[in-house]
Structure 1
Amino acid sequence: MTKLAGSKPLVLVLEDEALIAFNLHDELQDAGYAVAGPFTTCSAALEWLQTGTPQTAILDAALKDGSCREIALELSRHGVPFLIYSGHHEDRQLLAEFHHVTWIEKPVPSAVLVQACQQLLVGGL
């Protein structure tokens, strides 16, 4: 599921709160993106990353099975820009080495995240 010429940009979504996940999925699709996920566990997302590469990603800092640090590292290794979307300020300590990454604190409208993805794709964040 990598991007092909003329296809929609692919956004990897990690979010374990169902309502947020579904709203974000719908907003991204409405804005013309393809969506991988939403994944509710890091293990499922890491498995997907073995065969898929998104153009950008939205990561909740912590999912049902722990910190998204390994996913952030994997995305960084592949040069995939991402942002972190978290409702807990203390989550910054979980991913301290990613202080340079855009953090958006919950709650915000899904449209804010869609706009942030657009900026990531053009190198603006």
Structure 2
Amino acid sequence: MARILIVEDEALIAEILGMYVEELGHEIVGPAATVEHALSLLNDGRPDCAILDCALGRQESTPVAEELAKAAVPFAFATGRGTDSLPKDFKQRPMIAKPYIFEDVERVLAAMIS
């Protein structure tokens, strides 16, 4: 079982993603709806990997991505806007398209956890 940080500002979407993560046998860290909340969760302990919504309201999740990269924690971005919405410094990171499809979440998590 891995600890998966979920950073998502829309409660229903976070709940769906959380159900998928739990169905795959993993533990949820969060979900965090803001950059500040996500960073505080990172201070509480290192997750095994993370899924970050690119846009958190008017914020971007880039500060969280930067902290995860510094800590060598694998992460993927989630977006409904395609690869153009990925932060320019992180275009090589995995992406999960929204709306979430269980098999896509399963595939990306398996690649990050292995």
TM-score scaled to structure 1, two decimals? 0.83
Match of 1:108 among 84, 100, 105: 100
**Aligned length in residues:** 113
- After alignment, is 62-71 or 51-60 more displaced? 62-71
Aligned twin of 1:36:
29
Q: Which amino acid aligns with 1:115?
A: R
Cα distance change, pair 58–45 in 1 and its aligned pair in 2 (3 A): same
Cα distance change, pair 51–30 in 1 and its aligned pair in 2 (3 A): same
Match of 2:50 among 57, 60, 84: 57
SS in 1 for 2:44: coil
Deviation string, structure 1 residues 32-89 (Cα, Å, up to 9, x no partner): 1001011111110111111211111000001135011110000001111110001123
Identity %: 31
Aligned twin of 1:119:
111
Q: Is this contact kept in 1: 2:53–2:77, CA < 8 A? A: yes
Aligned twin of 2:67:
74
- After alignment, is 31-40 or 111-120 more displaced? 111-120
Aligned twin of 1:46:
39
Provide runs of 4+ in structure 1 moved above 4 Å.
none
Aligned twin of 2:77:
84
CA RMSD of aligned residues (A): 1.4
TM-superposed CA distance for 1:30, in Å, is 1.6
- Structure 1 residue ranges without an equivalent (≥5): 1-7
Distance 1:85 1:115 in 2: 13
TM-score scaled to structure 2, two decimals? 0.90
Q: Which amino acid aligns with 2:85?
A: D
Q: Is this contact kept in 1: 2:96–2:108, CA < 8 A? A: no
